Amino acid sequence: MKHLLEIIDLQEYFPARKSLFGQTLWVRAVDGVNFHIDEAETLGLVGESGSGKSTIGFMILRLLQPTKGKILFQGENIVALSKHEMMAFRRDVQIVFQDPYSSLNPRKTVEDVLTRPFRIHKFAKTRNEARKMVLDLLEDVGLTPPETFLRRYPHEMSGGQRQRVAVARAIALKPKLVIADEAVSSLDVSIRAQILNLLKDLQKKYHLAFLYITHDLATLRSVSHRVAVMYLGKLVEVGTTEEVFQNPLHPYTKALLASVPVPDPVYSRQREPIILSGDMPSPISPPSGCRFHTRCPMMREACTLEEPPMVDVGNSHIVTCLLN
């Protein structure tokens, strides 16, 4: 089966500093990651801050050049694309950043921001044609009446309205894949549901695929078809959303799910907490064996020696843990 996006053995190492002996030390931000995304599918990528989630998104966009590995988009390795080929690729892959205020030019109006993609990629021949496209975009993202938003600057809108403009910019060229990097984490709780519902509506309307990057499992469950859990640069568990939430197999996934607040005081008191010891190790010198063993409450000696492989345990549920 041909996937829309396929990541194969992806690595990203950053030079950190030199050791006492003059040897360069490397930050292993992403270290051998494999996953895929199909058309009109949402893959939720979750993990602690520093686990490598956003780095993967930036590599898919070619904002970062991978150290090693392949990024296949519609079967073509984008790592080897020329500058001319990248222009066509960027029409098909877009991003919604975390903070809409910093990702929008404060000196440009909404019309300027949303007209720019049409000008760069020559979708509109005249200014009136571009304005009509912008008005349709604003309607799509729920900014109505759209004429009242054309001359507004980012500081003249609320956080939710700014993020709707950012979403409109991302879908302007009708891409096939949108990377949503913590797209609702900077918004009020009451606004998050509106933006998430907007993303789902746009997915149905335009047959979009999403890579939804987050550390918020509550929002991830409501939008994702599948979930990929990252820890210290590696994937530890991948599966359908319901399979991972109902039957988590990796101790790290279990700890993440146990930390999600439940609006039921009786169930909350009955639920056994999972407390992880210590902090995430340094990606400069990750632990041997399983990278999670330094914090794992179920650790045994083999975990310190052997790096667990990715094993399919059924129902397309993949886990990297020696206990399974």
- Report residue 269's pLDDT band, with 50, 70 and 90 as the boundaries: low
Percentage with pLDDT > 90 across the chain: 66
CB 244 within 8 A of CB 265: no
Domain boundary among 191, 224, 257: 224
Integer CA distances (angstroms), 183 to 82, 180, 187, 195, 282, in order: 30, 5, 9, 9, 27
Same domain, 270 and 213: no
Same domain, 52 and 195: yes
Q: What is the mean pLDDT of residues 142-157?
A: 95
Same domain, 56 and 140: yes
Gap between the Cα atoms of 249 and 323, Å rounded: 9
**Total of domains in the chain:** 2
pTM score, two decimals? 0.92
Q: What is the mean pLDDT of residues 281-294?
A: 91
Gap between the Cα atoms of 61 and 7, Å rounded: 13
Same domain, 205 and 273: no
Gap between the Cα atoms of 184 and 245, Å rounded: 21
* Per-residue DSSP letter, 192: H
Same domain, 246 and 208: no
Domain boundary among 205, 224, 243: 224
The confidence score (pLDDT) of residue 44 equals 97
CATH code of 100's domain: 3.40.50.300
Whether residue 160 is contained in a domain is answered as yes
Show the domain range for 214. Answer: 37-61+84-224
* Type of residue at 155: H
Same domain, 201 and 235: no
Locate 103 and state its tokens: 């990702």
